[in-house]
Structure 1
């Protein structure tokens, strides 16, 4: 009897386990949407449950003609009130302008999902971005001409020697008359930075518009990237990049209107692990290619430009430091490690007129400045 009971229990557990697996499998929802950009630029977003870390996608034309098979091993993360989803990115450039496309998607399970391009929901890029009311009036600049842009890891408002000095950050931006700045390691309501809302303080003191992209939230405290601009920020989106669970990383993207001219200003702070950075760079690469033109990407990449993962960026982005052959000047001033890991990159429709690194102790990173203008 005991053996029979044991067998029955094992069978019941097996059936329960099978039933549970079947339920989870059936409740997995895969979605595809097209984010429509300017002209023919579009981005396909593939939404999956968070347990799916990679997918294989087959692309067909006219139902049967095989075009490509693509392994997507990197993703961003999007949160809503209802759920959290992994988001895999695919630029429509791979479709070569073809319309009658269908996809077979294999999300790491035995089944396949079939989607047709003509049936996908199309969302305008502007509607996809989150909007907030700016708390600062900002200063309108009357001419496009030359923009002064900056990338600055402010080390949560502490100097290289540990002194709290957010006012020195303000002074540096003001004294150099910066038009748009991408900031990393910005605190909001954190003990180590005296519970200040750092980006709001910077915005008020400098009379600039701002957006904030927190990547870490703990008990009301926040930490992340930010953008300050003398020009109106029309919309923005904060994307969670792939990486480890210990410290989330993000890409803060904004659309800024400069007297009728629209530019995209992006700031990021990449991870410390090489494999992590590789995935993050792949994700950023998809967004930059989607935007296509008038893009400025700045940030702390935590790697040198000699990294093989940097090569994709160099195919279509200009490194402001290289224009002036200043790529050997370090931007991180650590006690042991000194290197150039902070960058200002632009699409080729910008001309870099000047580049400099400010040698200062107000952070463990040096501020990086470039003067850029739109090419004719």
Structure 2
């Protein structure tokens, strides 16, 4: 520190505080919000902290200062978080027996004209039909719009409430069982189907966890509003934790290979993500590219996921930046067993 200028000393103090905060925030992955919610709040800012610490590394290296070692060490300790934040290369393997699975929060097909454009519902249908996923999981599904989705099998669960929306799973494969987990005290939910593909029976969960109801682009923070926001988000964290535990308990009773996909309303650094992922693969980490952001405009986050059992191979993953909802659709190509490649 003696050889640093006053400005660099000040920057290193800030660097040290942000590095310590990043290290501390790693704990949010392992500590339930029902135990201590502070870590859940910190997990929300991990992407920002990773970027800032990386910028400090560059700054100190350009100045030939050993202070770069601090942020470097902290990032190495949390290296697993880097792969959740950014994927460097896309895996692109096309097999004859691939199954395309898509997850899409359609925001009720723009029923209330949040997007000021015509025929958003038709554009969503056209997009889905063009990509033609074999399994389609839709969150915030609204039955009032005329369907034009070409699937022989489906399971739709509409919650009886003021908004009259719910969730749906469409499948090109025969559905032999289906059900709803019916989250208590929530308009959100999780549904599931068991489908048959050749000799395999696969369970697919379509999940929509409790919303944190944070809009960083519109939220005006005063002292009073900040306290209300804290209480609201803390309650949502706890609801998410209970919902994730319910899904996990339900999944453990199944003897089939399973896939969990949907809108988690939380990022890949959270306890609920860690709980639902378990030993599963995150399709983005295995086969995606870039940041994989699925929600937001100025402030973007990856809060939509496709998680597959270890014995299900992920061959490709895509995020489609089509602005027909407040979420982007995601799709993975998966394979249950090795088959011949497309010629």
TM-score normalised by the shorter chain: which range applies? 0.5 to 0.7
In 2: Cα distance, 1:277 partner to 1:230 partner: 31
Task: Quote how far apart the aligned CAs of 1:228 are.
Answer: 0.8
Please list the CA deviations of residues 226-248 of structure 1 after superposition, one character each: whole Å capped at 9, or x if unmatched.
00111121221011124xx3x42
Structure of higher CA gyration radius: 1
Q: Give the one of 306, 309, 313 matched to 2:269.
A: 306
SS at 1:161 equivalent: coil
2:142 paired with 1:187:
yes
Residue 118 of structure 1: aligned partner: none
Task: Quote how far apart the aligned CAs of 1:149 are.
Answer: 0.3
Q: Is the 8 A contact 2:288 2:318 kept in 1?
A: no
In 1: Cα distance, 2:290 partner to 2:127 partner: 22
In 1: Cα distance, 2:288 partner to 2:169 partner: 27
The TM-score, its normalising length taken from structure 2, stands at 0.59
SS at 1:240 equivalent: coil
Query: Where do 1:58-207 residues align within 5 Å?
Result: 145-158=97-110, 161-163=115-117, 164-188=119-143, 195-196=144-145, 201-203=147-149, 206-207=150-151
Q: Kindly tell me: are residues 311 and 353 of structure 1, through their superposed partners in 2, closer, same or farther at Cα, counting changes over 3 Å? A: same
Please list the CA deviations of residues 262-283 of structure 1 after superposition, one character each: whole Å capped at 9, or x if unmatched.
1111101110211110111111
- Number of residue pairs matched? 218
Tell me, which stretches of 5 or more residues in structure 2 are unaligned?
1-33, 35-94, 212-235, 339-343
Bigger RCO (CA 8 Å, 6+ sep): 2
Task: Quote how far apart the aligned CAs of 1:329 are.
Answer: 1.8
Please list the CA deviations of residues 191-244 of structure 1 after superposition, one character each: whole Å capped at 9, or x if unmatched.
xxxx43x5xx144xx2432110112434xx6211100111121221011124xx
Q: Which has the higher strand share?
A: 1
Tell me, which stretches of 5 or more residues in structure 1 are unaligned?
1-72, 74-142, 189-194
The TM-score, its normalising length taken from structure 1, stands at 0.54
Q: Give the one of 347, 354, 362 matched to 2:316.
A: 354
Residue 30 of structure 2: aligned partner: none
Q: Kindly tell me: are residues 292 and 345 of structure 1, through their superposed partners in 2, closer, same or farther at Cα, counting changes over 3 Å? A: farther
